[in-house]
């Protein structure tokens, strides 16, 4: 990932920098150093280790998981304030996948600065079977699409357990609504609702990915249902 500004110039700054990063990701020695640096950083971050455990990555498996990621072809992720024409032309010449998206900046009536950041996590490109077999992009509300296809039902209960290591875990229950997950009478997104539950036990926790936290009664994650929808 390289966060950029269009004014920096494609050939003067952006292209050389990303080219060096791609080269590093294709070099065995560089991959080894990257993996070691990642492990060192993670070992110093106990809260992040807890997040990894929630998605079934144990401490003993962290190094191996990082190496599996690094074995894959690199993907360039480039948030930028505007996209120069020559940047578009250059990205088409690369042999790796490139995601370029615009981060927009606003100011509200009170003078506060606001940013609009696209949620690339839920924009998954896939081939949908249709009359003309067009390649389409499924974007937007994961939960709403899963409900529309009947893989979840409004009013259905979802669950997850959370607690510090070595102590009993608390079981949380949410109710599926068309516009989110209801917890304690308040409806919010899958991630916000799971974070609100976790913060009852761990107030310092600031993030949670609800798509890989909330489970159905038979243990299916929301994102597993969404992948089933795509298939």
Q: 181, 193 in Cβ contact below 8 A?
A: yes
How many Å apart are CA 1 and CA 3, to the nearest integer?
A: 7
CB 122, CB 142: distance < 8 Å: yes
Phi, psi angles (nearest 5°) of residue 107: -130, 125
Instruction: Please give the structure tokens belonging to residue 202.
Output: 């761990």
Report the candidate in 52, 65, 63 with the shortest Cα–Cα distance to residue 165. Answer: 52
Q: What is the DSSP letter of 94?
A: -
Residues in the chain: 231
State the pairing for strand pair 135-138/124-127: antiparallel
* Whole-number Cα distances in Å, 124 to 77, 141, 173, 197: 14, 12, 28, 28
How confident is the model over 185-200, as pLDDT tens digits? 999 888 889 989 999 9
- What pLDDT, on the 0 to 100 scale, is given for residue 227? 83
**What is the sign of the dihedral through the CA atoms of 81, 85, 88 and 91?**
negative
The long-range contacts involving 117-120, CB below 8 angstroms and separated by at least 24 positions, are: 117/79, 120/77
pLDDT tens, N- to C-terminus, the chain (231 residues):
888 888 889 999 999 999 999 998 888 898 999 999 999 999 999 888 888 887 788 888 999 999 999 999 888 989 998 888 899 899 999 999 888 888 888 887 888 888 777 655 444 433 333 333 333 333 346 788 888 889 999 999 999 999 877 778 899 999 999 888 999 999 988 888 998 999 998 888 878 888 889 999 999 998 888 888 877
Cβ burial, residue 210 (10 Å; 0-12/13-18/19+): buried
């Amino acid at each position: 990932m390289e966060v950029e500004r269009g004014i920096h110039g494609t050939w003067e700054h952006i292209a050389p920098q990303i080219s060096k990063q791609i080269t590093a990701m294709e070099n065995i020695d560089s991959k080894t150093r990257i993996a070691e640096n990642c492990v060192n950083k993670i070992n110093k971050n106990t809260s992040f280790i807890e997040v990894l455990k929630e998605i079934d990555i144990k401490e003993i498996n962290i190094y191996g998981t990082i190496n599996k990621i690094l074995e894959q072809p690199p993907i360039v992720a480039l948030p930028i304030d505007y996209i120069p024409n020559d940047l578009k032309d250059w990205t088409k010449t690369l042999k790796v996948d490139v995601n370029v998206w615009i981060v927009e900046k606003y100011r509200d009536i009170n003078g506060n600065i606001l940013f609009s950041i696209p949620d690339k996590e839920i924009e998954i490109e896939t081939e949908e079977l249709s009359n003309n077999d067009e390649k389409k992009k499924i974007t937007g509300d994961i939960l709403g699409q899963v409900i529309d296809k009947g893989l979840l039902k409004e009013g259905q209960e979802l669950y997850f357990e959370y607690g510090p290591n070595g102590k009993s875990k608390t079981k949380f229950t949410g109710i599926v609504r068309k516009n989110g997950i209801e917890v304690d009478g308040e409806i919010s997104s899958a991630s916000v609702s799971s974070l609100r539950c976790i913060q009852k036990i761990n107030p310092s926790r600031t993030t949670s990915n609800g798509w890989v936290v909330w489970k159905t009664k038979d243990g299916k994650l929301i994102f597993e249902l969404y992948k089933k929808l795509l298939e």
